[in-house]
Amino acid sequence: MRALMASAALGVKRIEEIVARFGSAVVADALGQLVARTRKLVRTKLAETFDYGTHRFTDAIDSDGHGNGPFHLRLALTREKGKDGEDKFIFDATATDDQSPGPVNLLLNPDVPGTALSMFYLGGDPAQVCNAGGPQALDEVRLREGSLLWPRWPAPLGMRGLTLMRFLAAVNGLINVAGGKAPAAHSAYVISFMRGTYKTLEGKLEPFLMSDGIGVGWGARATADGTDAVYFVAQENYPVEFLEVGYPVRLRTYGILTDSCGAGRWRGGCGIVREYDILAEEAMLAVRIDSVKNPPWGIAGGMAGGAGRVVVNPGTNHERQLQPLSDGNMLKRGDVLRIETGGGGGYGHPFDRPPQSVLDDVLGGFVTADAAQELYGVAIDSDELDPETTRKLRTRRPEVKAFHRHAYVDSLA
């Protein structure tokens, strides 16, 4: 916290130095030009992507954890000529489902859609600045009161981050239906809370509360694979040593979840598997995983990413699978908790992925040899490519459609 405060104080000092050097009028004008430049550039990119008319995309979150759902996010972007002859861009989310009884409602700031679009168009370009000009690139943002994205008070918002993650993927889908090249869908990072009692070395019962965030796979891009094991935003990682020193658990497994990546010319990012020995006397688990019934979609022939799951005592007679959005899951000393997180969707036809890249994925533990043959048409024998069998497999190239979620479809609903 002191470091954050010190960095903010240093930022104030540097801005004061700039104002003292150039004067407040010059600095204000420069900042205004930066915002105007960003707005103009984003609007130019929007015009290159979105033809005149209305473009629509629908995505869904599985549940609110109270037996309701799925909840659909229905987004639209319209480009039309204004009365002044200039282009007008209208973002409309009013067709989104009604607000939820459970805590997945998101009170969406109207600047978020424009920010998401500008981050796609400008992200990664060191010559550009993402600033308030991004939201200003949209002439109007329409939200409906009483919907999942603009709930009426009182409405539970505790898991709004899950809905925000799905919203950002839906914006990518909206860009793609208009002919853009946004990434395929990503999973929402997984959160778990474990609380209970453990026995100290002296035999005394003490309470504990453990919160653990786990990364997921992000969607493939039009020119690159998706990112593996990302925790949005700052990519926090709770190391094994940190957990084992501070909490009554022992990590049995922590690594990439093989075959969780959506197959494609560019594969989606892989999720994570995390397996805990429970050393507490008793514990109650709450967990948040989405995209189980509606996994992250693939695009342009790419396949959907894998779905996450939570299992207690896997591979035993006492195995039980937990609901992906649930609380009150009782655990006891000696139990094994396995959490698997979802992967990102793929981009492009899997049969277009170079066989050597598929082999590298197999050798790296991202894809199994069976999946390489079934999904990519690549035969691998004794950790080496089988070129002749691969050639024969790839003559049976599957037909694909625009999106993939469970099966190939022209549009998602």
* pLDDT string in tens for the chain (413-residue length): 999 999 999 999 999 999 999 999 999 999 999 999 999 999 999 999 999 999 999 999 999 999 999 999 999 999 999 889 899 999 999 999 999 999 999 999 999 999 999 999 998 788 888 899 999 999 999 999 999 999 999 999 999 999 999 999 999 999 999 999 999 999 998 999 999 999 998 999 999 999 888 999 999 999 999 999 988 765 566 789 988 999 999 999 999 999 999 999 999 999 999 999 999 999 999 999 988 999 999 999 999 999 999 999 999 999 999 999 999 999 999 999 999 999 999 999 999 999 999 999 999 999 999 999 999 999 999 999 999 999 999 999 999 999 999 999 999 87
Domain ranges of the chain: 45-177, 190-349+397-409
Among candidate residues 232, 243, 140, the one with its CA nearest the CA of residue 186: 232
CA distance 294 to 89: 29
β-pairing, 272-278 vs 140-142, is: unpaired
Residue 232: predicted pLDDT: 73
| Proportion of the chain in helix, strand, coil states, percent, rounded to 5 | 30, 25, 45
Tokens 């853009």 sit on residue:
180
> Is the full-model pTM beyond 0.75?
yes
| Edge-to-edge strands, sheet with 403-405 | 298-299, 403-405, 407-409
Residue 233: predicted pLDDT: 63
Residue 334: predicted pLDDT: 96
Residue 351 DSSP class: G
Q: How far apart are the first and last CA of the chain?
A: 44
Residue 236: predicted pLDDT: 64
pLDDT tens readout for residues 128-163: 888 999 999 999 999 999 999 999 999 999 999 999
- Which residues fall within 8 angstroms of residue 272, CB to CB, at 6 or more apart? 214, 215, 216, 229, 254, 255, 256, 257, 340, 341
SS3 334: coil
pLDDT tens readout for residues 213-245: 899 999 999 999 999 998 876 556 678 998 899
Among candidate residues 241, 237, 262, 260, the one with its CA nearest the CA of residue 251: 241
Residue 129: exposure state from Cβ atoms within 10 A (0-12, 13-18, ≥19): middle
Do residues 346 and 302 touch, judged by C-beta distance below 8 A?
Answer: yes
Residue 71: predicted pLDDT: 96
CA distance 351 to 361: 14
Six-digit token string for 309: 């799951």
CA distance 43 to 140: 13
Tokens 């930022």 sit on residue:
11
Identify residue 368 by its one-letter amino acid code: T
Residue 350 DSSP class: G
Task: Please give the angle made by the CA atoms of 19, 22 and 27, to the nearest 5 degrees.
Answer: 60
CA distance 50 to 171: 13
CA distance 238 to 243: 7
CA distance 261 to 253: 19
pLDDT tens readout for residues 85-137: 899 999 999 999 999 999 999 999 999 999 999 999 998 788 888 899 999 99
Residue 362 DSSP class: H
Do residues 8 and 103 touch, judged by C-beta distance below 8 A?
Answer: no
Residue 234: predicted pLDDT: 59
Six-digit token string for 87: 């282009």
Residue 62: predicted pLDDT: 93
